[in-house]
Amino acid sequence: MLNNYSYQAALAASESIHWRVEDIIGGEKRLDFTRPFMPESLAQTEPLTFLSEEEKRILNQIRGNAYLCIFGLVEEFILPFVLDHARPQLRGDDFRVRALLKFASEEAKHIQLFKQFRMEFEDGFGTICNVIGPPEAIAAAILAHDPLGVAITTLHIEWMVQRHYLESIKDDQELDAQFKSLLKHHWVEEVQHAKLDTLMVEALAAGRTEAQIMSGVEEYLEIGGFLDNGLQQQVEFDLSAFEQASGRRLTETEAEEFRRVQLRANRWTYLGTGMTHERVLETLESLTPKARQRVESVSPAFC
């Protein structure tokens, strides 16, 4: 074990944070549609030089809405997964039970927060933007995998949130204030999830042979492939939402460029930033160096 994470410390940190969904969105707190919602490093609208500034902003906001939906989706599988992980040892370590239940309850709050923002988005944006789903079907497909593969996927997602916020969002002064506040409040609770999930991965790998660990790693990569298929579909949805919202029909060449740039942007946002996160790689390496090597052999396709 490389870290000094504990259920007790994660619980204490989590109990020191207090925010409610209604503190962040609703009432006077509205989205400002004159602003971008996503940082450029994730949205990657600038390479699409055939778009005007306004069209880039429209696409950026479409990507912001998809971000809400995709996080909504993944949190739908994380919530039952954490509850299932907690349940067999409810009479064990009290800090473990409380930390995991707090983790689950925060994810339930995040699901609601993302839904609330989506409603605000729908109200203000004026065009229906399709998103992959339904969440229950995606959650069921992911949860059908080896729990170790699911736990590594969750670990990837938790650290990915850290990276998005710290590297791209925190110092971006252009973003809409409400959207930035959502990302900040989400991040601050995800810090503890990343640590708890590291403990979950370690617990699920304990007692496994190297071959059994590697089979969990392969299942993580299968889940990644499944999400990647979803992202390809999402790019098509974003393209048609963009054409509808902007009233501009892209030429065949422009549409191809849109697909190429946006698929790369989506892959980096949801797959590359997690797969190459040093904390994810360190945890994999602590299970077996082969696990890290295997993921590192695949990750360039998503960066």
Binding interface with Fe ion (CB under 5 A): 110, 190, 193
- The secondary structure element, H or E, covering residue 202 is helix 177-205
Q: How far is the CB of 277 from Fe ion (least distance, A)?
A: 14
Q: How far is the CB of 254 from Fe ion (least distance, A)?
A: 35
- Residue closer to Fe ion, measured from CB, 135 or 239: 135
Cα–Cα distances in Å, from 44 out to 29, 31, 146? 27, 21, 34
- Residue closer to Fe ion, measured from CB, 96 or 110: 110
Q: How far is the CB of 161 from Fe ion (least distance, A)?
A: 7
Q: How far is the CB of 180 from Fe ion (least distance, A)?
A: 16
For residue 99, give the nearest of 238, 193, 24, 234 by alpha carbon. 193
Q: In angstroms, rounded to a whole number, what is the distance separating the alpha carbons of residues 275 and 70?
A: 17
Assign residue 207 a region: left if phi > 0, alpha if psi is -120 to 50, beta otherwise? left
- Residue closer to Fe ion, measured from CB, 57 or 64: 64
- Residue closer to Fe ion, measured from CB, 190 or 219: 190
Q: Are 5 and 199 in contact (CB under 8 A)?
A: yes
Q: In angstroms, rounded to a whole number, what is the distance separating the alpha carbons of residues 96 and 256?
A: 49
Q: How far is the CB of 78 from Fe ion (least distance, A)?
A: 6
- Residue closer to Fe ion, measured from CB, 176 or 190: 190
Q: Are 78 and 154 in contact (CB under 8 A)?
A: yes
Q: How far is the CB of 114 from Fe ion (least distance, A)?
A: 8
Q: In angstroms, rounded to a whole number, what is the distance separating the alpha carbons of residues 82 and 110?
A: 14
- Residue closer to Fe ion, measured from CB, 197 or 238: 197
- Residue closer to Fe ion, measured from CB, 157 or 239: 157
Q: How far is the CB of 158 from Fe ion (least distance, A)?
A: 5
Q: How far is the CB of 154 from Fe ion (least distance, A)?
A: 7
For residue 31, give the nearest of 241, 183, 188 by alpha carbon. 183
Residue 170 backbone dihedrals phi, psi, to 5 degrees: -50, -45
What angle in degrees, to the nearest 10, is found between the helix axes of 210-246 and 53-86?
Answer: 150
DSSP string across 146-163: -HHHHHHHHHHHHHHHHH
For residue 220, give the nearest of 126, 148, 276 by alpha carbon. 148
- Residue closer to Fe ion, measured from CB, 51 or 78: 78
